Structure 1
């Protein structure tokens, strides 16, 4: 199978489908649900899990599975320069950095120049390949859990990560930056922000791009500088109309389309209720009621 697939609107206009990649080591059923959702919303894209022998069963016939161990060499090399400075476990935090080396080496081996990377608890509702590349110019490398990245910039990030951990002065810069943004623990998320803001010199989108939003975290509001969404039970209140998902901007009658939802932490329990084929397809707005796990009519 080739690195890319293409679908054509006309003979003159073909759209190259971006591969969608997940990296996950353990066998958890929600991973398979997120992969199937990505395939449902991106039927012409390759949907790929880089994982372990234990989770190969999560890849259905229309998705692909590759062993993580095949792409681990440069990730292993990074482990020798990594410094641990967080309350998260050593293995977990190290792997959060290593996954970018794994993704880079996988893309090289497959001849993939650009892909969409998703964490294994992200449900995707937009066809990434049909979006203009410019939609992602500022969003690339902003979120570790949802990003569209090209191989050139991923190479640059891997070199960046190695430099910031290997060189004592750069590591002190990283520690100082983490302190300045709120005493954040050292993680790939912090390095992403540093890379996005200062190496790539991109402005923050907070996930609000292409007339919708890529969710930061279902359990969290939008960034303070952004319009806020209605919430319920400590989570964003999610609406549906005609099978598409939205949040409602607080104090207005405006709705913002959900490109993705990030079911972080205990919110993973809601993933089975948010598969596109299980969402009501009604002309009127309905919202998901978290306590009952049911879609109910919204007030006009």
Structure 2
């Protein structure tokens, strides 16, 4: 037991935080610097097609072009687009896991925390591992409570922990879902439900993560189900987390207060709960600077202007996209 404790302690001091992102989004320096602020003992890496953030001290920028493996090509060869979202968008959401695997293999990294580029993290990886020691030899991500019959089939990897072994299993499982007929049939069952009910979405990497959690339930830890000195945030713009209607809302996002330099969500029973992260999905990206707790940086003025332009686009995108999706699903239902 002592040796095991020593081993886990050593692991906790060598787990990098890795981001995968295309482009030079205005909010990216905030999430990178926030990760640096909490990750005192390990590296922060950005796998990207841009080098704009390579000047941030402590951030390693790795070109995506260096991570094109045979497994990536195998994914491309088997991929089928089954979503109302754009093909380029969905493909990249899957490819990030293959790029993460290639990066871990090239660097000899046995375990890593992955964060989406719209996630602020407030708890260090070593602290998360000490709170959840059961994840050390497995993988961990966020799985809301759901009925399999609902076809919701959603799990979030936007803050997740992976060993190289389990990530390799997930990448191979992803490829299998597109060419093994029993798994592919499950995708089309869900897709037909979307078409019939005229619901946007379809098949994405969150679907695959959900199915992987069922197939490898003994290897997947759900970070949403245990309140250990705080909760993980599934989506800032929703009152749901593991359960529906779990948190209070304010201005169309979770109500969050700052107390003793700690960000607290307010549950429906009025209990303040620390957040290990906040996931600023979609239009809530505009709030990332409000909750950033890292050091000030000189480029913030430029990014402040970018943020203003981003906020001006939100009403247009919010109104146009739903109408476009409804027309798309209507036509698919008409000609299926």
> Partner residue of 1:242?
260
Q: For 1:144, what is the secondary structure of its paired residue?
A: strand
> Partner residue of 1:145?
158
Gaps of 5+ in 2: 1-5, 143-155, 297-336
Comparing both structures, which one devotes a greater share of its residues to helix? 2
* Alpha-carbon separation, structure 2, partners of 1:244 and 1:78: 41
Q: Does 1:159 align with 2:172?
A: yes
Q: Does 1:265 align with 2:245?
A: no
Alpha carbons of 1:58 and 1:232: their partners in 2 closer, same or farther (altered >3 Å)? farther
| TM-score normalised per structure 2 | 0.72
1:122-174: CA deviations, max 9, x gaps?
00000111232436478714422110111110010011011110223321123
| TM-score normalised per structure 1 | 0.80
Contact 1:207 1:214 in 2 (8 A): no
* Alpha-carbon separation, structure 1, partners of 2:77 and 2:173: 15
Contact 2:230 2:275 in 1 (8 A): yes
> Partner residue of 1:276?
293
> Partner residue of 1:86?
83
Alpha carbons of 1:203 and 1:141: their partners in 2 closer, same or farther (altered >3 Å)? closer
* Alpha-carbon separation, structure 1, partners of 2:289 and 2:240: 24
Comparing both structures, which one devotes a greater share of its residues to strand? 1
Identify the range of structure 1 (69-78 vs 93-102) with the bigger mean alpha-carbon deviation. 69-78
Alpha carbons of 1:241 and 1:19: their partners in 2 closer, same or farther (altered >3 Å)? same
Alpha carbons of 1:116 and 1:205: their partners in 2 closer, same or farther (altered >3 Å)? closer
* Alpha-carbon separation, structure 2, partners of 1:263 and 1:213: 15
Bigger relative CO (Cα 8 Å, ≥ 6 apart): 2
* Alpha-carbon separation, structure 2, partners of 1:247 and 1:174: 35
Contact 1:136 1:209 in 2 (8 A): no
Q: For 2:88, what is the secondary structure of its paired residue?
A: helix
> Partner residue of 2:151?
none
How far apart are 1:49 and its partner, in Å? 0.3
1:102-134: CA deviations, max 9, x gaps?
111110000111000000000000011123243
Contact 1:75 1:99 in 2 (8 A): no
Gaps of 5+ in 1: 1-9, 280-300
> Partner residue of 1:57?
53
* Alpha-carbon separation, structure 2, partners of 1:205 and 1:23: 21
* Alpha-carbon separation, structure 2, partners of 1:193 and 1:221: 20
Q: For 1:101, what is the secondary structure of its paired residue?
A: helix
* Alpha-carbon separation, structure 2, partners of 1:44 and 1:26: 28
> Partner residue of 1:282?
none
* Alpha-carbon separation, structure 1, partners of 2:213 and 2:57: 36
Contact 1:104 1:151 in 2 (8 A): yes
> Partner residue of 2:124?
127
Over aligned residues, Cα RMSD in angstroms? Answer: 2.6
Q: Choose from 186, 199, 217 the match for 2:203.
A: 186
> Partner residue of 1:213?
231
> Partner residue of 1:293?
none
> Mapping of 1:276-295 within 5 angstroms?
276-277=293-294
* Alpha-carbon separation, structure 1, partners of 2:51 and 2:84: 27
> Partner residue of 2:188?
175
How far apart are 1:211 and its partner, in Å? 2.8
